[in-house]
């Protein structure tokens, strides 16, 4: 297993070869809203982005720069998504990368960009220009926690995870933001991972996508796929070559931690929901069933109210509507307690209600239909979620 610590509370250095800078440039209030991380030399790079047809210019430009080569810097602007602003938005995104690149002494193609916040509002570009003009070179810091805080929007806590690649000194450090508009399809979600392991660019891309599929693509807060989802990984190589399986293990550990942190911090959330589906025809069917359960407002509200209403889980399984899902084979449970087809008496139901009052609720379903399996994460639905989103732009 990777050597890991997912909850540093003071300072966490980025891996060797990376520098950072975080500041407020006046996009909103006095919280940090402008973050830059740069590698001191050549890196391997990979990225996975939203599949939304309303993708923002930050996503489109980052895809373009990754296709050209191996970018070595990332700039994140929070509190403004810069989405649906037409040619002005596209021009502003390109200008930001060009100005940051100029300050860092690198090519504009070497800079990736991510933006998160309200859709449909142009950047306050004059403020951003002034902020970039003050960007120190070289960048003065290397604190991953400051980076995690700098990309927050409505997050209540910063999200950071790290691991050491087994048998080496190489480190993997990840940061993320996201609490609402989240069901990634690669939510608003941004994740950045930095490592000093030496990994070939093609292998890095393949490994990153494989791990994303079982972590960030298995989280959902509200079924809404963001226009700005961005997950990026940069590998400096400063710690040398590592075993590929050990690297993937560390990357899995970091991204799984970030996934759970995002789910637990869902807007208004009070409980983490984990849904495990086994016995499916294949992994795809298992994930679709698991997502159907974790996304159901009726399941979410039952969890919030500590109500072991397994009928809502049965409903969510059934609405997937695959012809090879047979209700006579399905087994449903909460925690370690089977609730269907075995029935629970009043004493057992009270015990389940007590279990569901905890901060983590696990729902398990066995379809008895094959060897496919999937685990997904989400959160309960509270009146806090409604209030936050009802008042979001006012």
Longest dimension (CA), the chain: 69
CB 22 within 8 A of CB 35: yes
Q: Name 79's bridge partners.
A: 117
CB 72 within 8 A of CB 53: no
Alpha helices in 235-382 (DSSP H): 244-264, 283-295, 297-304, 310-318, 346-356
Q: Encode 94-120: b = buried (16+ Cβ within 10 Å), e = exposed.
A: bbbbebbbbbbebbbbbbbbbbbbebe
What is the distance between the alpha carbons of residues 173 and 171, in angstroms, rounded to a whole number?
6
Q: Could you give the strand order of the β-sheet that contains 372-379, starting from the edge strand earlier in sequence?
A: 337-340, 331-334, 360-366, 272-280, 372-379
Paired tokens of 253 = 């550990």
- Concerning whether 393 is annotated as a catalytic residue, the answer is no
User: Is there a cis peptide before residue 44, judged by omega within 30 degrees of 0?
Assistant: no
User: In degrees rounded to 5, what are phi and psi of residue 260?
Assistant: -70, -35
- Which of the following is catalytic: 50, 188, 215, 230? 188
Instruction: Say whether 354 sits in a helix, a strand or coil.
Output: helix
Active site residues per annotation: 188
């Amino acid at each position: 297993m990777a050597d890991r610590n997912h909850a540093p509370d003071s300072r966490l250095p980025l891996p060797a070869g990376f520098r950072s800078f975080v500041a407020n440039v006046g996009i909103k209030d006095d919280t940090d809203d402008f973050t830059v991380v740069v590698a001191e030399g050549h890196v391997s790079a990979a990225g996975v982005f939203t599949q939304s047809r309303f993708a923002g210019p930050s996503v489109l430009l980052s895809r373009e720069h990754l296709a050209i080569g191996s970018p070595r810097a990332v700039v994140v602007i929070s509190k403004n998504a810069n989405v649906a602003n037409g040619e002005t938005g596209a021009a502003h995104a390109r200008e930001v990368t060009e100005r940051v690149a100029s300050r860092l002494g690198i090519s504009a193609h070497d800079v990736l960009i991510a933006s998160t916040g309200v859709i449909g509002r142009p950047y306050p570009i004059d403020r951003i220009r002034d902020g970039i003009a003050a960007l120190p070179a070289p960048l003065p810091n290397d604190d991953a926690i400051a980076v995690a805080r700098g990309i927050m929007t409505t997050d209540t806590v910063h999200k950071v995870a790290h691991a050491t690649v087994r048998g080496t000194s190489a480190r993997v450090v990840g940061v993320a933001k996201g609490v609402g508009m989240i069901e990634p399809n690669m939510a608003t979600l941004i994740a950045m991972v930095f490592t000093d392991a030496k990994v070939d660019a093609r292998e890095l891309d393949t490994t990153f996508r494989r791990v994303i599929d079982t972590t960030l693509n298995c989280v959902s807060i509200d079924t809404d796929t963001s226009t700005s989802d961005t997950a990026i990984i940069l590998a400096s190589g400063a710690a040398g070559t590592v075993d590929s399986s050990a690297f993937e293990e560390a990357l899995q550990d970091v991204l799984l931690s970030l996934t759970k942190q995002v789910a637990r911090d869902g807007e208004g959330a009070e409980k983490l929901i984990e849904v495990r589906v086994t016995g499916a025809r294949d992994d795809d069917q298992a994930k679709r069933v698991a997502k159907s359960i974790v996304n159901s407002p009726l399941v979410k509200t039952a969890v919030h109210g500590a109500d072991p209403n397994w009928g809502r889980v049965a409903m969510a399984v059934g609405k997937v509507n695959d012809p090879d899902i047979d209700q006579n084979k399905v087994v449903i449970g909460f925690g370690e307690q089977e609730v269907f087809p075995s029935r629970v008496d009043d004493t057992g139901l009270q015990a389940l209600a007590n279990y569901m009052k905890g901060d983590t609720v696990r729902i398990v379903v066995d379809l008895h239909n094959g060897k496919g399996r999937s685990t997904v994460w989400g959160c309960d639905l509270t009146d806090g979620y409604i209030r936050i989103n009802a008042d979001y732009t006012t």
